[in-house]
Amino acid sequence: MYQKIKGTEDIYGSEMKYWYWIENKAREVAIRYGYEEIRTPIFEDTKLFVRSVGEDTDIVQKEMYTFEDKAGRSITLRPEGTAPVVRAFVENGMITHGFPQKYFYIGPMFRYEKPQSGRQRQFHQFGAEIFGSYSPIADAELILFMDRFLKEIGLIDYEIQINTLGDSEDRARYREALKEYYSKHLDNLCDDCKARFERNVLRLLDCKVDVKYVENAPKITDFLGDGAREHYQKLKRFLEQNGVQFVENPRLVRGLDYYNRTVFEVHHKRLGAMSAIAGGGRYDNLIKEIGGKEVPALGFAAGIERLILSLKAENVEVDEIGRNIVYVTYMGGDDVKIEALKLAEQLRKAGIPTGLDLMERSITAQLKHAARLRAKYCVIIGEEELERDVVIVKNMETGEQVEFEKSFVASGLKDMINE
RNA sequence: GUGGCUAUAGCUCAGUUGGCAGAGCGCCUGACUGUGGAUCAGGUGGUCGAGGGUUCAAAUCCCUCUAGCCACCCCA
């Protein structure tokens, strides 16, 4: 027997309503905020991700699905959504369309990680990007949009954390200071932190073991230049004045290298270790970095699987996916079956979701099946009705039955459904 | 990648010191043959995750692998 690949999921049945719910809300809210959908390929040139996400990041170091195609090109299944959108923006000359530009995407991402609940190797993200604005009003609007989306899918129990990483010069000075500070304690640090010290000092702030050193470590806020400081203060004020609940987390460092200034993460309080349901920030240098002009940008991405876990944790009721409202049942020979097919077709043409027995079961079994599908009405036709050009319409809630002349069934049912 | 727990029917799970593989739910059929959800009766359904080993005998004990879950790592 074949088994699905580790870390992948078949999505069907009672799970599907959550996907419809989130995807529909995502599209609806994004369009309300003036975002256009963009669909980029699922794989890209490996170099795009190495360059944008960062050579030293975990994603590039150990999590990418990279392979050679038949012509020897190095291809990578996208581990995140921003780099492809930026590539498309540059490659298609979208800069000529004027600023700001706002795009959203929904689709699968791939990272080779050890799976557990809320972490798959193929997972799905809803993300959004804004191109062109340096202003903190853009940061504020993006976070408002994300917050609005989370609220409208029904979530309450989450926390938005924000931080600033300053500009690259600020960060360089800060890194120096951190190195100096930690070099004194290097022997006492955990093994992970010793490695981080070499690879990425900022990550030391994330450590849950060496908490006592983190507390006394220098803070980025003391190293900010005027521009970054002002940007951060304005953003906080804009958010506060617009009723966005957030907390500052000076230790918030993100796993992708392209961020500067604003970064944020959203954590759901009822999830376990995989509590980050969304995250993002500003990346003013990325577009230039991968060969475009200097265009400021920012964005966020939310993990759909984790949103679903959050919805379930909060017992949010989501819309059921519509099923058959009407079910056509019949008893008799081929003449009756032909008529049943015609009837079902007529109803469907009229826009009514209609089921039809395909199993040639007894009328009892057909009605039983229709009841189980929670059809509101059954159309019943037999030899008798066929001869008289009528059908029976049965209300499945009340049990009432009425006869309809065949040509009026569709309009009659429509009226009954809409009342 | 490291450590721990787990894997039995479509789903949730029971299966004692090794001795004929079970229940509930679901699904199907029927309850005087042209009328549904309740009830009742019957039925369908398992390579006991895979492979090997020990044994007269393995779902049960041992080994390897695979997958899932939890924590770490990191992130969506």
ipTM: 0.88
User: Does one domain contain both A240 and A295?
Assistant: yes
pLDDT confidence of residue A218? 87
CA–CA distance, A112 with A108 (Å, rounded to integer): 13
CA–CA distance, A105 with A100 (Å, rounded to integer): 17
pTM value > 0.90: yes
pLDDT confidence of residue A127? 98
- Would you say residue A293 lies in a domain? yes
**Signed CA dihedral, A113, A115, A118, A122: sign only:** positive
Q: Is the CB of A368 under 7 A from strand B?
A: yes
User: Does one domain contain both A399 and A292?
Assistant: no
**Could you identify the residue written with the tokens 């949103």?**
A307
Tell me which residues from 120 to 179 on chain A have a beta carbon below 7 angstroms from nucleic acid strand B: 120, 123, 125
- Would you say residue A146 lies in a domain? yes
User: Does one domain contain both A376 and A277?
Assistant: no
User: Does one domain contain both A296 and A352?
Assistant: no
Q: Is the CB of A189 under 7 A from strand B?
A: no
pLDDT confidence of residue A202? 79
Nearest to A135 by CA among A253, A242, A284, A263: A284
Structure tokens at A280: 């993002």
Tell me which residues from 230 to 249 on chain A have a beta carbon below 7 angstroms from nucleic acid strand B: none
CA–CA distance, A169 with A225 (Å, rounded to integer): 8
Q: Is the CB of A255 under 7 A from strand B?
A: yes
List the beta bridge partners of residue A43: A77
User: Does one domain contain both A243 and A341?
Assistant: no
Which residues touch A110 (CB under 8 Å, ≥6 apart)? A64, A65, A77, A78, A79, A121, A122, A123
CA–CA distance, A268 with A191 (Å, rounded to integer): 29
CA–CA distance, A315 with A338 (Å, rounded to integer): 45
Q: Is the pLDDT of residue A209 over 70?
A: no
Nearest to A388 by CA among A374, A407, A361: A407
CA–CA distance, A396 with A276 (Å, rounded to integer): 45
Report CA(A166)–C1'(B64) in Å, whole number.
Answer: 52
Q: Is the pLDDT of residue A199 over 80?
A: no
CA–CA distance, A106 with A360 (Å, rounded to integer): 41
User: Does one domain contain both A29 and A118?
Assistant: yes
- Would you say residue A200 lies in a domain? no
| In contact, A48 and A87? CB cutoff 8 Å | yes
User: Does one domain contain both A273 and A396?
Assistant: no
Tell me which residues from 307 to 326 on chain A have a beta carbon below 7 angstroms from nucleic acid strand B: none
Percent of chain A clearing pLDDT 70 (strictly above): 99
Domain final position from A283, A314, A345: A314
- Cα dist. A272→A94, A98, A156, A172, A253 in Å? 41, 43, 17, 34, 20
Range of the domain at A357: 326-418
Report CA(A312)–C1'(B16) in Å, whole number.
Answer: 37
CA–CA distance, A104 with A126 (Å, rounded to integer): 7
Pairing of strands A101-110, A65-68: unpaired
* A405 marked as part of a ligand binding site: no
> pLDDT tens digit string along A247-303?
999 888 877 788 999 999 999 998 888 899 999 999 999 999 999 999 999 999 999
pLDDT confidence of residue A242? 97
- CATH number of the domain to which A155 belongs: 3.30.930.10
Report CA(A391)–C1'(B29) in Å, whole number.
Answer: 27
Tell me which residues from 72 to 101 on chain A have a beta carbon below 7 angstroms from nucleic acid strand B: 80
- Would you say residue A209 lies in a domain? no
User: Does one domain contain both A287 and A352?
Assistant: no
Please count the residues of chain A.
Answer: 419
- Would you say residue A178 lies in a domain? no
Cis upstream peptide for A100 (omega within 30°)? yes
Nearest DNA or RNA nucleotide to A203 (CA to C1'): B74
- CATH number of the domain to which A394 belongs: 3.40.50.800
Q: Which residue is nearest to nucleotide B1 (CA to C1')?
A: A114
Number of structural domains in chain A: 2
Report CA(A395)–C1'(B43) in Å, whole number.
Answer: 31
> pLDDT tens digit string along A297-321?
999 999 999 999 999 999 998 988 8
Q: Is the pLDDT of residue A187 over 80?
A: no
- Would you say residue A185 lies in a domain? no
Structure tokens at A414: 């429509």
Q: Is the CB of A372 under 7 A from strand B?
A: yes
pLDDT confidence of residue A220? 87
User: Does one domain contain both A82 and A119?
Assistant: yes
Model confidence band, residue A216 (pLDDT cutoffs 50, 70, 90): confident
> pLDDT tens digit string along A137-165?
999 999 999 999 999 999 999 999 999 99
User: Does one domain contain both A38 and A134?
Assistant: yes
What average pLDDT does range A178-192 have in this prediction? 79
For residue A125, count other CB atoms closer than 10 A to its CB.
22
Reduced to 3 states (helix: H, G, I; strand: E, B; else coil), residue A22 is: helix
- Would you say residue A211 lies in a domain? no
pLDDT confidence of residue A293? 95
User: Does one domain contain both A340 and A270?
Assistant: no
| In contact, A142 and A280? CB cutoff 8 Å | yes
At residue A404, what is the residue type? F
For residue A107, count other CB atoms closer than 10 A to its CB.
16
pLDDT confidence of residue A208? 67
Q: Is the pLDDT of residue A211 over 80?
A: no
Cβ-in-10-Å burial (0-12, 13-18, 19+) of A403 comes to exposed
Q: Is the pLDDT of residue A181 over 90?
A: no
CA–CA distance, A156 with A9 (Å, rounded to integer): 27
- Range in A2-6, A16-20, A73-77, A117-121 with the lowest mean pLDDT: A2-6
Report CA(A17)–C1'(B45) in Å, whole number.
Answer: 28
User: Does one domain contain both A79 and A103?
Assistant: yes
CA–CA distance, A86 with A92 (Å, rounded to integer): 10
Report CA(A376)–C1'(B31) in Å, whole number.
Answer: 26
Strands (E), A16-100: 36-37, 43-45, 65-68, 74-77
pLDDT confidence of residue A87? 97
